[in-house]
Amino acid sequence: MEKSFVSQIADIDGDFAQWYTDVVVKTKLVDYGPVKGTMVIRPYGYAIWENIQNEFNRRFRENGYENAYFPLLIPMSFMTKEAEHVEGFAPEVAVVTHAGGEKLAEPLCVRPTSETIIGTMFGKWVESWRDLPLRMNQWANVMRWEKTTRPFLRTSEFLWQEGHSVFATAEEAEAETLKMLAVYKEFAKTCLAMPVLTGKKTEKEKFAGAVATYGMEAMMHDGKSLQSGTSHYLGQNFSKAFDIKFTDKDGTQKYGYTMSFGVSTRLIGAIIMTHGDNRGLVLPPVVAPVQVVIVPIASKKEGVLENCRALETRLRKAGIRVIVDDSDNSPGWKFNEWEMKGVPVRIELGPRDIEAGKMTVSRRDGYEKTEYALADAETTVAALLREISESLYERAKRRMEERIVSAETLQELLDGVNGGSFVRAGWCGDRACEDKVKEFAQATSRVACKEHTACKCVACGKKAKTTLYFARAY
Amino acid sequence: MEKSFVSQIADIDGDFAQWYTDVVVKTKLVDYGPVKGTMVIRPYGYAIWENIQNEFNRRFRENGYENAYFPLLIPMSFMTKEAEHVEGFAPEVAVVTHAGGEKLAEPLCVRPTSETIIGTMFGKWVESWRDLPLRMNQWANVMRWEKTTRPFLRTSEFLWQEGHSVFATAEEAEAETLKMLAVYKEFAKTCLAMPVLTGKKTEKEKFAGAVATYGMEAMMHDGKSLQSGTSHYLGQNFSKAFDIKFTDKDGTQKYGYTMSFGVSTRLIGAIIMTHGDNRGLVLPPVVAPVQVVIVPIASKKEGVLENCRALETRLRKAGIRVIVDDSDNSPGWKFNEWEMKGVPVRIELGPRDIEAGKMTVSRRDGYEKTEYALADAETTVAALLREISESLYERAKRRMEERIVSAETLQELLDGVNGGSFVRAGWCGDRACEDKVKEFAQATSRVACKEHTACKCVACGKKAKTTLYFARAY
């Protein structure tokens, strides 16, 4: 019985891909949609997304962003106004050709991202320097037709947030690009307990239409990298294409400078593959739908269920997301189920605990059972949730740091990624050398590394311009 | 100067359609999207929607609903599984025929509603009576290609919530249909200060594929009706089409009974047209993005701005959405602007107020300026917001009740709707008579009326089966 759940999940080190599929489906985070490449986000998964949204909404608001909603369908002609942009997105776009029983005069794209349509509206709204900076954020579904898909990581439709802003100067727009990248990094640490590497992407890896893209990359359990968020400095590329002009203080007309940034439901995949283990999910407390599960022991005994309910009420009042599992299943079955579902704290409460004024607590991050006084439950649990978040972060950070290696040759780089590491290596700046790494080691450049300086390009041996992190990536 | 804003808005009784357009655009609730029939929901409008979402999320949760997310694109073949459903929606559907650079093997609909795709997933998830009732809600964008569009009221894309549930018995599903209709009605009263008529729709007006549709109808300023929410009892129509079967306690396989219900961004249009006046918006306090604006008087005088900020902080701590307008505009200009934007409470704070420990308060629902003690600001303002909500509701209710008339002939019915009334009239039950009313009076049946019993059908004079509310409608 104790093994019933665990045995349903493939071994995390034996077959990580199968482990992932088992975990996301069996914990009811997600299911496969009927159209190839689509997903249904089930309540347990969607609740994580809602917690992510709430945490971001507060941060965006503090940074001057207001939420708005822009149309799903974008005229094909808008996409083509920025040459690089259309080249990058056209191959992935889904197109509406018929509507209302008729063929449309112009085909409409289902948004793969909204720079073009938001740019059009910003062009209409921005008139004077007084209108700047202009900052907006949108929570929306977007569509990118992908050949190989996996729930959360790569699906034809996904949910995301996209922030868009306009500034009077290049300096301000560039500073905002880095500021929002920093917001992402802080969020990843505080809310997802996830350490990330942040830095500039190469020309090859940047957003189609950007002057520069900055990304945050996280190391998954198998040593592969997951791009978890990006922030783009767009210069005047979109303001010129969409006529975002303002009258400056000196009375002259100028084009604004724009930037954009986004994270998606991919973050849920990142959480799973950063913290999960052979028992299933391990959810970071800040975004866990259920932070605490109370399991009654000998629940038929007088007063047990009442005491569980009373504790639930107390914890809920303290702002903790808590449930009592009063189902007919055995305690052992419940332990397994909630461990698989990744609930950070489990409290067992039985007649003996109650008599002694105690509760028996287990942490999902692996420590032994501990007894605490029932009287201090609110402060104890709040402190435990913080501790668990910090310990998950430290553990993931240690793992990442231990698995970053340096390489001076392609063979060393290949050995590094084969061993599940991120590899720091020098790069001369030529696209050909980046392509050579991809071919030789099936690894791509993730972000620039500022902490380390390599002398020679790992591919051609010429003088290095930049040091990059290379990795296999999702 | 004082007149500058008001003069931008058409007269509400002279040209209501233009008044509406002026108000939604000039208060920056919304803008027109580049594709015909689409809208951009700007931050001030979107904030109303977020408040509506929060209020509903609490109510849905209390009624056992969990949020989830289902795919945007639905295979055309799903739509055709329920014959009436496809007949009703096919003419309005937008169709994706190409994606990823290729023609799709099967065209995909952009969801006009999600019964078919959610039904498919429910069919997969429901196995036993233990899985029932199953209740889910989704917040999503939907698309219905409309010929005549107006922001919020009728747009090709809109945002909505759709609740879907499955029960073991017809009785439970029918009871849920009425229960969620009651939730809508209570929400309309409490959060939108909007009185509504609720009742069953005729066969002609029901949802395509439903056994029965119940609607809530609200009377707009011009006496026309706005369908503001619907709840559908779907019987086994969708469970049979999508194989939603369960093993009952007796071991036999049975089809479930389903229901669904939805409200949309139309509610924002309903608020505007229920409460607005010649000065612009009048927003119900519960969903107003800004509940209180503090306008500093003689703001350059020492201590004025500081006292405004201190009051803002106090009110914000009390959970009130408040801002200080510290812009360079004159107080008169600010008064007009915030009146146009419909902010429920305005507080003026100048040197004399501060010295006397007072604040000068104006209510957007039309009362004179009143002085209150600054010391009690939190309780005073909270009470005022409640009072304003109640007085808006009472005013709208009185207006609606005064404008409901009865008719025994088609001419009386025509006179009624021409006079901006809802008309109660008997109906024999024949579709032909409903059509005749439409032709003669350009009015449609809204919902059944239970409070009143007519003897004869208003169109044919035969014995009436039902009494209906007829009205012109948006």
The per-residue pLDDT for range B47-96, each reduced to its tens digit, is: 999 999 999 999 999 999 999 999 999 999 999 999 898 999 989 999 99
Structure tokens, B14: 């002279």
Residue pair A111/A229 in contact by the 8 Å Cβ criterion = no
Contact B145 A99 (CB under 8 A): yes
With beta carbons under 8 A apart, name residues in chain B contacting A121: 31, 33, 40
- Give how far A361 is from chain B: nearest CA, Å: 28
Average confidence (pLDDT) over B285-309: 96
Contact B72 A46 (CB under 8 A): no
Say if A58 is an interface residue toward chain B (CB within 8 Å).
Answer: no
- Give how far A62 is from chain B: nearest CA, Å: 15
pLDDT over threshold 70, residue B6: no
Predicted TM-score (pTM) of the model is: 0.97
pLDDT tens digits for range B140-172: 999 999 889 999 999 999 999 999 999 999 999
In 3D space, the residue among A189, A186, A72, A64 whose CA is nearest the CA of residue A134 turns out to be A64
- For residue B133, whether the previous peptide bond is cis, meaning omega lies within 30 degrees of 0, is yes
Residue pair A332/A295 in contact by the 8 Å Cβ criterion = no
Question: Count of CB atoms within 10 A of residue B131's CB?
Answer: 15
Which of B25, B29, B35 to mutate to test binding with chain A, by most A CBs within 10 Å of its CB? B35
Comparison of pLDDT for A85 and B180, the residue scoring more = B180
Contact B73 A31 (CB under 8 A): no
Say if A41 is an interface residue toward chain B (CB within 8 Å).
Answer: yes
Burial B187-218, CB ≥16 within 10 A → b, else e:
bbbbbbbbbbbbbbbbeebbbbbbbbbbbbbb
Per the DSSP assignment, residues forming a β-bridge with B467 are B426
- End-to-end CA distance of chain B: give it in Å, rounded: 35
B240: CB partners within 8 A, 6+ apart: B255
**What span, in angstroms and rounded, lies between the C-alpha atoms of A138 and A215?**
19
pLDDT of residue B7: 65
pLDDT of residue A147: 87
With beta carbons under 8 A apart, name residues in chain A contacting B36: none
Indicate the residue of B66, B68, B100 with minimum beta-carbon distance to A145.
B100
**What span, in angstroms and rounded, lies between the C-alpha atoms of B93 and B122?**
23
Say if B131 is an interface residue toward chain A (CB within 8 Å).
Answer: no
Which of A30, A81, A95, A109 to mutate to test binding with chain B, by most B CBs within 10 Å of its CB? A95
pLDDT tens digits for range A177-231: 999 999 999 999 999 999 999 999 999 999 999 999 999 999 999 999 999 999 9
Contact A46 B68 (CB under 8 A): yes
Pairing of strands B94-99, A94-99: antiparallel
Q: Phi and psi for A96 in degrees, rounded to 5?
A: -90, 120
- Give how far B136 is from chain A: nearest CA, Å: 8
Contact A46 B31 (CB under 8 A): no
Per the DSSP assignment, residues forming a β-bridge with B198 are B216
With beta carbons under 8 A apart, name residues in chain B contacting A111: none
Question: Count of CB atoms within 10 A of residue A61's CB?
Answer: 12
Residue pair A358/A373 in contact by the 8 Å Cβ criterion = yes
- Give how far B318 is from chain A: nearest CA, Å: 18
Which of A72, A97, A110 to mutate to test binding with chain B, by most B CBs within 10 Å of its CB? A72
**Complex confidence, ipTM:** 0.96
Helices (H), A208-255: 237-241
Q: What is the mean pLDDT of each run of 10 residues along chain A (474 residues)?
A: 62 97 97 95 98 98 98 95 90 95 95 97 98 98 94 97 98 98 98 98 96 98 98 98 97 98 98 97 98 95 95 98 96 96 98 96 92 98 98 98 97 97 97 97 96 89 96 97
pLDDT of residue B450: 87
pLDDT over threshold 50, residue B12: yes
Which of B39, B54, B96 to mutate to test binding with chain A, by most A CBs within 10 Å of its CB? B96
**What span, in angstroms and rounded, lies between the C-alpha atoms of B137 and A52?**
19
pLDDT of residue B2: 41
Alpha-carbon radius of gyration of chain A: 25
- Give how far A115 is from chain B: nearest CA, Å: 14
A5: CB partners within 8 A, 6+ apart: A26, A279, A280, A336, A337, A339, A340
Pairing of strands A197-200, A212-219: antiparallel
Indicate the residue of A78, A91, A159 with minimum beta-carbon distance to B69.
A159
Stretch 69-128 of chain A: residues touching chain B, C-beta under 8 Å: 69-75, 78, 90-101, 107-108, 110, 117, 120-121, 124-125
